[in-house]
Structure 1
Amino acid sequence: MPEPVTAPRRVRAVRGAVQIDVDEREEILSATRELVTEVISRNGLHLDDFISVIFTSTADLSAEFPAVAARELGMGDVPLMCARELEIAGSMPRVIRLMAHVETGLARAEVQHVYLRGAVALRRDIAQ
């Protein structure tokens, strides 16, 4: 029996963001879990597909590292990094962003970037 034809796997970057209401540890963890889970679900990913994830948060969020939530979801062996978002006048407050590097058969145009809650306003052009 012939092998099924599958799309070649390539490295793709998936973007996402979520805005939270308050700078509290559980709010940061809950929102980050929601964001990571949506990235996985909308793109048909598995934990083994992740190469690395970079999280950023705005300066008004300091109660916890977003990467803690990713570890709680099973990403203990995925390289994770947290950084501070640039402080630009007029930028949206209390936002956690991510850029995940993944291996997938999706074409670049098929990748679904995930913007949740108020963060949808950040990238209406690519938000799904």
Structure 2
Amino acid sequence: MAGTEGEWRVRGLRGAITVSQNSVEAIAEAVNELLDALESQNTIDPSEIVSATFSVTHDLDAIFPAAAARRRPGWDQVPLLDVQQMQAVDGLDHCIRVMIHLNTPLSQKALRPAYLRRAAQLRPDLAFLS
């Protein structure tokens, strides 16, 4: 059963962003920019988030993205996890990705992912350009 608009289901919401450098400030700023875009485009209430998993490329280790997310209003009770992104030939460097699982009445198709900065090249068909 696919689920219809208005029927509450757990859905997955993706996003990605790149950072200019491996620093606490740059990573925290990027995480906040990415989550701001996802929250505003999808009217996310943190109390409806089931969990969020962040992945980072091997060249980012100054801070866990989850640590930056946890400082956001309402995100202190969201289960968060950080993992390292698989390294692939010609992969995008300095990249943070997120997968948010949330309870929502929206259909999967209605959710708007956000691919920001150079991460827009990962999914040009889905990139959110502000």
Match for residue 69 of structure 1?
68
Give the match's secondary structure for 2:14. strand
Which runs of structure 1 show a deviation greater than 6 angstroms over 4 or more consecutive aligned residues?
none
**3-state SS of the aligned residue for 1:12?**
strand
Structure whose CA Rg is larger:
1
Aligned to 2:56: 57
Alpha-carbon distance in structure 2 between the residues aligned to 1:90 and 1:111: 29
Q: TM-score, normalised by structure 1?
A: 0.92
Query: What is the TM-score with the length of structure 2 in the denominator?
Result: 0.91
| Structure 2 counterpart of 1:33, one-letter code | N
Q: State the alpha-carbon separation in 1 of the partners of residues 76 and 18 from structure 2.
A: 24
Q: How many aligned positions are there?
A: 123
Matched residue type, 1:10? R
C-alpha root-mean-square deviation of aligned residues, in Å?
1.1
Q: Counterpart of 1:102 in 2: which secondary structure?
A: strand
Question: Which residue of 2 is the match for residue 3 of structure 1?
Answer: none
- Identical positions, percent: 34
TM-superposition CA deviations, 1:6-26 (whole Å, max 9, x none): 812111100000011100111
Tell me which residue corresponds to 2:96.
96
Question: Mind listing any 5+ residue stretches in structure 1 that lack a counterpart?
Answer: 1-5
* 1:12–1:103 CA contact under 8 A, matched in 2: yes
**Counterparts of 2:119 and 2:25, CA distance in 1:** 19
Please state whether the residue corresponding to 1:81 is helix, strand or coil: strand
Listed as ranges, the matches of 1:7-86 within 5 Å are 7-74=6-73, 75-86=75-86
C-alpha separation between the residues in 2 aligned to 1:116 and 1:33?
Answer: 12
Give distance in 1, aligned partners of 2:127 and 2:117. 11
